[in-house]
């Protein structure tokens, strides 16, 4: 399950989606807006995606996580638009019969999300703003 | 022939527009378009080519057709660092 | 934060506890009752603890996770008593500025919880029951 | 001297009681008590000694005092396998 949305994300909703009677382990990564970046106070962040390609890449990623680690269910969500400090940016939830694969798949998921999904972040400070990762 | 060029995030900021139309020679490749665009918008110089043609991620050898929509993609920074 | 309870566990409540403006990453492990164990259909599980020592060990574990991995906040919870298929048994939530430490601390936490906290599980089947791990 | 002995989970099932009182020689250690208890309840034979004395986890060399409460702890199985 894939979600790319301008609305606030609910980690619990994703956990509920992946959970089933078969799975004994659910590992979740939640990325949250930090109030500080390299020593500067962050006012808020802004996320932008090239949406059709981003959705396709997120879907590919979820399929690959299942195939590569043999986990039962995967949900990947990313917030778009303006996100305040403390708000959730990314959720990756993995359900599996066993916990080792769930941890590995979840960690792989967040690394790969950053590497291959066309999403960009702008950090907005009191005295300026800049796009990150460029 | 004409292609539509779209810029996102940092690139949109650097060039000052989200979308423009560029005239390229018939049979031009994506790499050739990128060089031409970097000539028009010098702020883009030094950035690696990453782009989608009509929504599909493509490499520099991809030949373009008239009317193609080319999205130039800055380095990704999704998720949390 | 430590919880050892006969009441249903809420993973979200633990995530909310560890989350703060400082933390950019929250990694959560949720252990769930599976409907099957070694090919047999499980009716329910029953968990028992030597409570004072279990609480002390859970507290020690949370302190050690923070010290060893430098993470900001840790919450560890374990269910006691009868737990139905699909119910949550264990929650380990770790909040950290960076995700690598959060994953490592969470994984260390669940391994160590199993190894050193005096909690026991009984599997109840249609045609019998047995204590596990002995 | 007398000590109180408590059994949990599997051990309670094997011995058929949650608590009993055992008479041990003055100065007996935790190991000596465990051997004595394994003599009384043969179902416990072969299991490793893990125990708490008055709520504190202790090793076999720990000397006991009259009135101590000794909890014998089966191998742990918390969390999910």
Over residues D45-69, the pLDDT tens digits come to: 999 999 999 999 999 999 999 999 9
Distance from CA of B79 to the nearest CA of C (A): 10
Q: In sequence order, what are the beta bridge partners of A41?
A: A36
The sign one gets for the Cα dihedral C33, C34, C35, C37 is negative
Mean residue pLDDT across chain D: 94
DSSP string, D16-39: S-SEEEEE--TT-BHHHHHHHHHH
For the stretch D17-28, pLDDT in tens is 999 999 999 999
Q: Are A28 and C30 within 8 A, CB to CB? A: yes
Chains in contact with chain D (at least 3 beta-carbon pairs closer than 8 A):
A, C
Closest Cα to residue C58, out of C80, C32, C33?
Answer: C80
pLDDT of residue A132: 87
Between β-strands A2-5 and A73-79, what pairing exists: parallel, antiparallel or unpaired?
parallel
Q: Are A32 and C26 within 8 A, CB to CB? A: yes
D54 interfacial to chain C (CB closer than 8 Å): no
pLDDT of residue A133: 65
Closest Cα to residue A26, out of A81, A59, A72?
Answer: A72
pLDDT above 90 (res A27): yes
pLDDT above 90 (res A1): no
For the stretch B51-68, pLDDT in tens is 999 999 999 999 999 999
pLDDT of residue C23: 78
Q: Search chain B and give the residue with CA nearest A116.
A: B76
- Measured CA distances, A79 to A2, A11, A87, A89, A106 (Å): 11, 12, 9, 5, 18
CA distance A112 to B76: 11
Question: Maximum Cα–Cα distance for chain B, whole Å?
Answer: 42
Helix (H) or strand (E) holding A56: helix A51-69
Q: Are D81 and A25 within 8 A, CB to CB? A: no
Q: Which residues of chain C have pLDDT under 70?
A: 21, 133-134
Place of tokens 């909703």: A13
pLDDT of residue C36: 87
CA distance A130 to A124: 7
CB A77 within 8 A of CB A9: yes
What residues have CB less than 8 Å from D52, skipping those under 6 apart?
C50, C53, C118, D58, D70, D71, D73
pLDDT band for A134, please (50, 70, 90 cuts).
Answer: very low
- Measured CA distances, A70 to A27, A94, A103, A112, C67 (Å): 14, 11, 12, 17, 33
Q: Are C25 and B80 within 8 A, CB to CB? A: yes
The average pLDDT across B14-20 equals 96
Q: In this structure, what token pair is assigned to residue C56?
A: 């002390």
pLDDT of residue A82: 97
Rg from Cα positions in chain B? 12
Looking at beta carbons, which residues of chain B come within 8 Å of C101? none
- Measured CA distances, C80 to A73, C47, C128 (Å): 27, 5, 20
The average pLDDT across A61-75 equals 97
Mean residue pLDDT across chain B: 94
Under DSSP, the state recorded for B63 is: B
pLDDT of residue C22: 73
For the stretch D26-42, pLDDT in tens is 999 999 999 999 999 99
pLDDT, greater one: B80 or D36: D36
pLDDT of residue A37: 86
Looking at beta carbons, which residues of chain A come within 8 Å of C15? 11, 30
Q: Search chain B and give the residue with CA nearest C98.
A: B81
pLDDT of residue A32: 92
CB A23 within 8 A of CB A98: no
pLDDT of residue B77: 80
Q: Are C78 and D81 within 8 A, CB to CB? A: no
3-state secondary structure (DSSP) of residue D70: strand
Residues 20-59 of C with CB under 8 A from B: 24-25
For the stretch A87-117, pLDDT in tens is 999 999 999 988 999 999 999 999 999 999 9
User: Which among C34, C53, C121 has the least Cβ separation from residue D78?
Assistant: C121
Torsion from C-alpha of D69, D70, D72, D78, nearest 10 degrees: 60
- Mark whether D and B touch (3+ CB pairs within 8 Å): no
Distance from CA of A20 to the nearest CA of C (A): 7
pLDDT of residue B78: 64
Helix (H) or strand (E) holding A60: helix A51-69
Torsion angles phi and psi, residue D35, rounded to 5: -60, -45
pLDDT of residue C134: 41
Rg from Cα positions in chain D? 12
Looking at beta carbons, which residues of chain B come within 8 Å of C25? 80
Looking at beta carbons, which residues of chain D come within 8 Å of A25? 80
CA distance A105 to A112: 10
Q: Are B78 and A48 within 8 A, CB to CB? A: no
């Amino acid at each position: 399950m894939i979600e790319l949305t301008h609305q606030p994300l609910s980690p619990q909703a994703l956990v509920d989606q992946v959970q089933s009677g078969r799975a004994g382990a659910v590992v979740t990564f939640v990325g949250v807006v930090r109030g500080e970046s390299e020593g500067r106070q962050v006012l808020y962040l802004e996320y932008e995606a090239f949406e059709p390609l981003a959705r396709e890449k997120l879907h590919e990623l979820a399929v690959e996580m299942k195939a590569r680690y043999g986990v039962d269910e995967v949900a990947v969500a990313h917030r778009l638009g303006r996100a305040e400090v403390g708000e959730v940016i990314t959720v990756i939830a993995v359900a599996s019969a066993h916990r080792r694969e769930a941890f590995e798949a979840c960690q792989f998921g967040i690394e790969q999300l950053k590497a291959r999904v066309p999403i960009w972040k702008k950090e907005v400070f009191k005295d300026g703003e800049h796009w990150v990762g460029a | 022939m004409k292609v539509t060029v779209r810029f996102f995030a940092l690139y949109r900021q650097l060039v000052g527009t989200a979308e423009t139309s560029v005239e390229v020679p018939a049979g031009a490749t994506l790499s050739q378009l990128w060089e031409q665009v970097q000539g028009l918008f010098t702020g883009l110089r030094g950035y690696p080519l990453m782009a989608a043609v009509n929504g599909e991620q493509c490499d520099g050898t991809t030949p373009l057709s008239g009317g193609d929509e080319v999205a130039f993609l800055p380095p990704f920074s999704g998720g949390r660092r």
